[in-house]
Amino acid sequence: MKNFLMMCLFAGVVSGCSTGTLITKEGTTDNPKWHKADDVVFNKDLGTFPNLQSLSQVRQGMTKDQLYELIGRPQYDDGWRPREWNYLFHFTTPGQGENDITTCQFKVLFDQKMFASSFYWNPIHPKDVVCPPTSKSIKEVEEKVSVKRYTLGTDALFVFDKRDLQGLNPKGKKDLDNLLFELKKFKEINSIRILGYTDLLGSYEYNQKLSKDRAELIKKYFSYHGVNNQLITAIGKGPENPIVQCNSKLARTELIACLAPNRRVVIEVDGYIEERI
């Protein structure tokens, strides 16, 4: 009896709260089923405003990691190792929807090898809208949407090898305050990605954590100064995507100086600024 109960409990954990959609081994279905719209479990039950440019890049054959980078994690709980991801998306559509917002559910189905295979939309509000919205209003918004990228050198932000508030330079605080001022120019912000980078000195694991901690600190700094925490994602990239390559035979002080451009934080702001005439 005990083993039977454990098996039942395990089955419940694995199944989660899936929609019950019958998925073929190729990752398709003839009858997509949907969660109740308000059953989302992430983002404080509010769903998200997707980056329209990133959403347009979603395609068959993508991995879950690639989808996560483009449109974030799914907001619904579909259990352990699910073959479907479900999202609740909002779109700014002036003159359409509730308070100029159109809401849709988006479903991704995966094949047996866990590659994205098919995609489905379900209108939530208004019920008769085409998802994703294709009206003139959404096109006008898309023209204004842009991803602005700001790069800050961490040598100016932090004392070397530091990652906490005490390690933040006075100039670093000023740079962050200037960036906060820039954010106020946006009429609407869909998302903010903070990408931390390091040089190659030290172990990969250490640099990964250092870059993540620094990105998280900047996220907390922005949140403390009024930026919606739910819009911000902090990511540690470690020594990935170096800007410069330096001769490893240089003296350590020279090598540290040479690698300075690689030690940086990139802030990507997806949103739009109202055009002024």
Q: What are residue 116's DSSP bridge partners?
A: 110
Q: In what order do the strands lie in the sheet with 145-153?
A: 145-153, 264-272, 188-197, 232-236
Per-residue pLDDT at 162: 65
* Residue 14 pLDDT class (50, 70, 90 cuts): very low
Comparing 33 with 158, the larger pLDDT belongs to 33
In the chain, what percentage of residues exceed pLDDT 70?
84
Burial of residue 203 (CB within 10 Å: 0-12, 13-18, 19+) is: exposed
Contact assessment for residue 57 and residue 97, using Cβ atoms and an 8 Å cutoff: no
Tell me which DSSP letter residue 16 carries.
T
User: What are the pLDDT digits (tens) for 185-239?
Assistant: 888 888 999 999 999 999 999 999 999 999 999 999 999 999 999 999 999 999 9
Class of domain 144-272: alpha beta
Tell me which DSSP letter residue 261 carries.
G
Provide DSSP, 218-242. Answer: HHHHHHHTT--GGGEEEEE-TT-S-
Rg of the chain over all Cα atoms, to the nearest angstrom: 22
Q: Where in the chain is the domain with CATH 3.30.1330.60?
A: 144-272
